[in-house]
Structures are given as structure tokens and as C-alpha cells.
Amino acid sequence: MSTIARMALLGLLTIAAPGGTGARRVEAFRAEIFRGACYCRTAGALRCTGGLSEAECRKRCDEALCDEWFWKERLPCWNWGYGG
């Protein structure tokens, strides 16, 4: 599905949702469709896994018992210029 089609679908979900649930549906849709970089800090080391949705990142970090985690939408993992 192209980015334009995704954005159009997000707009339709927002407009068509009854009872103010549109924002929640859009957020759930966005969390599953868009891919990005998932960063997990455990024992002082920061690791990144690319190509995950926000929901997948949250699940993976919960399972790995990350001390801290964050997800960057539509971005690859960044290696801070130190190689692969």
C-alpha cells in the first residue's frame, strides 16, 4: 500500500468513526502500518532493530526487559557514524 493510500485511509477512518473513536482507530492503524527504528537500552547498551511497527517495538522491548526504549517512525537505525 502506498503512502498516499495509507494517508487517505487514515483520513477516512477519522471522518467515518462514530462516537469519537476515530482518533483511537487512526492511532492503532498507524502503530501497525508504519515501520521504523526500534531502540532498546539494556544494561547501558543501546541497540536498534529496524523495520518494526511501533506495536512490534513495544512488544519486543517488553520481552527483552529494556530499561528504556523508543521508536522512530519511518527512519532506519542510526549508527552514529561508527560503522555497521
Based on the domain organization, do 5 and 25 belong to the same domain?
A: yes
The answer to whether the Cα torsion of 6, 10, 12, 17 is positive or negative is positive
Q: What's the number of domains the chain is made of?
A: 2
Based on the domain organization, do 25 and 54 belong to the same domain?
A: no
In a domain, 23, yes or no: yes
pLDDT score at 47:
93
Cα separation, 52 vs 83, in Å, equals 21
Domain range for 29 is 1-33
pLDDT for residue 39 is more than 90: yes
Average of pLDDT values for 42-48? 92
pLDDT score at 5:
72
Based on the domain organization, do 44 and 69 belong to the same domain?
A: yes
Q: Report strand pairing: 45-52 vs 68-73.
A: unpaired
Based on the domain organization, do 28 and 41 belong to the same domain?
A: no
**What is the rounded average pLDDT for all residues in the chain?**
80
Based on the domain organization, do 5 and 26 belong to the same domain?
A: yes
Q: Read off φ and ψ for residue 10, nearest 5 degrees.
A: -60, -45
Residue 19 backbone zone (phi > 0: left; psi -120 to 50: alpha; other: beta) = left
Cα separation, 5 vs 27, in Å, equals 16
